[in-house]
C-alpha cells in the first residue's frame, strides 16, 4: 500500500471511531429518576427540634392573576392539602415569577382557623440535562418573609433548590396553640 492510501484508511478509521463515540453517547438516556424540583420545609419547635404538625395545614398559592390554586400532593400543579401528623413537607417553586406567594391556612382541633401569607423571593436557574430529559428550573432563594398569625417565624436554611429531596431549604416555626 502506498502512503496516500494508508493515510486515507487511517483517517477513515479515526472518523468512524469518533462518529461511533458521538452516536453512542447521544443514544443513552441519563435523566434523573427524581426530577421534581421542590422546596423542603422542616417543622420545628421553639428549641429547634423536629415538631409534629398537630393542626391541619392547607397551602395554596396566589397566582399572578390573583386567583388562588390549592396545592395538593397527588396532582401536578398542587402540593399540600390537609397535612397533619408530619414534621416536614415539600412544595413546588414557580419558575415564571421572581416572588412566590403562598397562603398557609391552619385549622386546629377545635375548628379555629389561622391564615398566614409567605413570600419567597428567588432567582430561577434553567437546568439542562439532555435533549431527552427536558428543561427544568433550579432556584436560588434570596429572601423569605411572612405574616405572623399562626407562623412564628420562617428562615432559609439552604438557598439552592434542586432535585435533591433530602435537603431542607426552610425551617418553619408555628406558634404554640394550646
The answer to whether residue 92 sits within a structural domain is yes
The reply to whether 58 falls in a domain is: yes
Q: What is the pLDDT of residues 88-143, one digit of tens each?
A: 999 988 888 899 999 999 998 899 999 999 999 999 998 887 777 777 889 999 99
Range(s) of the domain holding residue 65 = 38-174
Number of domains in the chain: 1
How many other β-carbons are positioned within 10 Å of the β-carbon of residue 113?
Answer: 13
Q: Is residue 57 part of a domain?
A: yes
Tell me the β-bridge partners of 41.
89, 170
Is 32 contained in some domain?
no
**pLDDT digits over 58-85, tens only?**
888 876 666 655 544 444 444 577 888 8
Taking the alpha carbons at both ends of the chain, their separation in whole angstroms is 94
Contact (Cβ atoms closer than 8 angstroms) between residue 171 and residue 152:
no
Backbone angles phi, psi at 151, to 5 degrees: -90, 125
Angstrom distance (rounded) from CA 121 to CA 57 = 22
If one compares 142 and 3, the residue with the highest pLDDT of the two is 142
Amino acid at each position: 500500500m502506498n502512503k496516500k492510501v494508508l493515510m486515507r484508511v487511517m483517517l477513515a478509521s479515526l472518523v468512524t471511531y469518533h462518529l461511533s463515540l458521538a452516536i453512542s453517547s447521544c443514544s443513552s438516556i441519563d435523566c434523573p429518576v427524581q426530577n421534581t424540583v421542590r422546596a423542603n420545609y422542616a417543622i420545628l419547635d421553639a428549641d429547634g427540634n423536629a415538631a409534629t404538625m398537630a393542626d391541619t395545614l392547607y397551602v395554596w398559592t396566589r397566582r399572578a392573576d390573583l386567583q388562588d390554586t390549592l396545592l395538593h400532593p397527588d396532582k401536578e400543579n398542587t402540593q399540600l392539602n390537609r397535612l397533619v401528623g408530619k414534621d416536614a413537607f415539600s412544595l413546588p417553586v414557580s419558575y415564571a415569577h421572581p416572588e412566590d406567594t403562598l397562603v398557609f391556612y391552619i385549622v386546629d382541633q377545635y375548628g379555629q382557623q389561622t391564615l398566614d401569607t409567605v413570600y419567597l423571593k428567588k432567582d430561577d436557574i434553567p437546568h439542562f440535562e439532555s435533549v431527552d430529559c427536558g428543561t427544568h428550573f433550579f432556584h436560588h432563594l434570596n429572601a423569605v418573609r411572612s405574616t405572623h398569625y399562626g407562623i412564628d417565624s420562617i428562615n432559609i436554611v439552604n438557598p439552592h433548590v434542586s432535585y435533591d429531596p433530602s435537603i431542607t431549604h426552610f425551617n418553619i416555626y408555628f406558634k404554640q396553640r394550646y
